[in-house]
Amino acid sequence: MEIRDEFQLSRSRHVTRANTAISVLGVLVLLLPVMSNFTGNPSGIANCVLVGVLLIALAALGMRDPFGAATLNVLSLLLGLWVAASAFIFGYPLSALWVSLFSAALLVLLSAFSLSESAGLS
């Protein structure tokens, strides 16, 4: 029984670390319009702000309760896919496009990892 408890503790730490990285990527998505100088693209700016805030909120909730983070990680994974798609839908500038695709890839990988770890906790 003791080994299982240590195993669960290790998994919950993995989920917390992955969600910390997801929140950092959420900040990156949130600040993307400022860093890439979006001008004349209000829908792209609104998208980045909304998705960034949602990623930060989902990651914070996942850090608070790693045992119940599976649903939150599915939502983060879907938002990661949306970050990639929205770069093309809203016509981001080239520099923002590459940052969005890189961020989306990391979001999907981290969310999938955190999902697998949090699913093993329940």
The residue type of 15 is V
Percent helix, strand, coil in the chain, to 5, is 90, 0, 10
- pLDDT in 10s for each residue of the chain, 122 residues: 334 577 777 888 888 899 999 999 999 999 999 998 888 889 999 999 999 999 999 999 988 888 777 889 899 999 999 999 999 999 998 989 999 999 999 999 999 998 888 876 55
CB 24 within 8 A of CB 41: no
In this predicted structure, what is the pLDDT of residue 117? Answer: 85
Residues, the chain: 122
CB 33 within 8 A of CB 52: no
Maximum alpha-carbon separation in the chain:
59
In this predicted structure, what is the pLDDT of residue 37? Answer: 83
In this predicted structure, what is the pLDDT of residue 121? Answer: 59
In this predicted structure, what is the pLDDT of residue 39? Answer: 80
**CA dist., res. 46 & res. 33, Å (int):** 9
- Note the pTM of the prediction, 2 decimals: 0.89
